[in-house]
Amino acid sequence: MDLGFDETEQMIRVSGAEFLAQEAGPALARSGDVEAFWRQVSELGWPGLAIPETHGGAGMGLAALGVLIEQWGAHLGQGPLFESSVLVAPLLEQAADERLAKEILPAIGDGSGSAAVAILEESAKWRSDDIHTAAVRTDTGWAITGEKRFVSYGESCANVLVAARTGDGADDISLFLVDRSSDGISSESLDHASGAPMSVLRFNETTVDEGRLVGEINSGCPLIESLMLRGAAFQSIQLAGLGRRVLEITTDYVKDRHQFGVPIGAFQAVQHHLADMAVSVRRVEHLARQAVWSVAEDSPEAEANVARAKMAASGLIPEVCWTAHQCHGAIGFTQEHDLHLYTRHALSWAAEFGDATVHSDRLASSLDLS
């Protein structure tokens, strides 16, 4: 396993960082003008980076997408790239029938047909027994009834991947790709710490064609597990990118901020803070890149590698942000300063797809230690 960047990945990394530094960052996070930004992202072909060429994508694979997502996190990229290209598209490649894949993947790839994920419910847990939304057979397919929470880009997407109970067994869960414009879907916006558009989606006997079933009936749990594993790996790399950017911002600040006639970076206590931040960021970068590689290569060690990465990213990157606030002093705690935008995103991403405690348990289980 080589965790360095090859020539193509280095090109993605550099060009992605340059574009996002200019077009995204705190200014975009504050403005919320996602639509115009998403058009630019789509024109660059980023949503289709990992989608196979047979379905209109670039066919560069998940490892290349991970390089881009690291920069996306560093510059607070906005839009459904994570939801559509990291979560839904690979799942459709894995489990959807060819007709559905041919219909949906090209639209995801060109940015015109984004997708959201609606799995979590009131408990906000990924366990099958916490899924109460139900799908009942009809003459033409299925009717879905229930409520999904914490659906990112759930109000603006073209399709929603919905997990619903389709049998009496504990794991009788199936996945459906629901057209967002279908009758019987209502939504409610949620205030979210990161500022990202989040919503509750309610389904009231929403009809879904048989062809929109993703995978086999009652086979949704393994698919949800693969989605969570991939989401945790890519959320780790996104947190690594954010942590690196916070370290850069803080380093620049302590060089410029003077006290007692010298830069505050000259004081040993501040240097210790920066050293601790650098070690934490580098550790997360290494583990996260290893996790993304493991998922991309379908490695048998993927579960353990992802658990290590997400445990470290969820635990360390928020601490990097809090240390950055301390180094900045009072100005770092104001709304006018940009630092809080990174901290809000870090806290949000640290909790998504399982926090450090969840992945500590998953690591122990994968190593037969529990």
Same domain, 362 and 229: yes
CA atoms within 13 A on the CB side of 140: 4
Same domain, 207 and 313: no
Among the three residues 196, 218, 240, which one is the final residue of a domain in this structure? 218
Same domain, 245 and 261: yes
Confidence at residue 191, expressed as pLDDT on a 0 to 100 scale: 86
The reply to whether 308 falls in a domain is yes
- Are the CB atoms for 287 and 305 separated by under 8 Å? yes
Same domain, 171 and 212: yes
What is the model's pTM?
0.95
Owning domain of residue 15: 7-112
Confidence at residue 1, expressed as pLDDT on a 0 to 100 scale: 60
Helix (H) or strand (E) holding 160: strand 159-165
Q: Based on the structure, what is the number of domains in the chain?
A: 3
Question: Residue 199's domain is classified under what CATH number?
Answer: 2.40.110.10
Same domain, 362 and 231: yes
Among the three residues 83, 112, 141, which one is the final residue of a domain in this structure? 112
The reply to whether 47 falls in a domain is yes
Confidence at residue 153, expressed as pLDDT on a 0 to 100 scale: 94
Same domain, 270 and 181: no
Same domain, 244 and 357: yes
Question: Residue 88's domain is classified under what CATH number?
Answer: 1.10.540.10
Same domain, 131 and 254: no
C-alpha span between 5 and 163 (Å, rounded): 36
Confidence at residue 4, expressed as pLDDT on a 0 to 100 scale: 76
The reply to whether 2 falls in a domain is no
The reply to whether 172 falls in a domain is yes
Write out residues in the chain with pLDDT < 70, as ranges.
Answer: 1-3, 370
Among the three residues 218, 234, 268, which one is the final residue of a domain in this structure? 218
Same domain, 241 and 360: yes
DSSP state at residue 338: S
Question: Residue 250's domain is classified under what CATH number?
Answer: 1.20.140.10
The reply to whether 1 falls in a domain is no
Same domain, 308 and 231: yes
CB atoms within 10 A of CB 231: 22
Confidence at residue 370, expressed as pLDDT on a 0 to 100 scale: 61
Same domain, 234 and 332: yes
C-alpha span between 355 and 232 (Å, rounded): 9
Return the structure tokens found at 358.
């969840």
CA-wise closest residue to 197 among 79, 84, 342, 354: 79
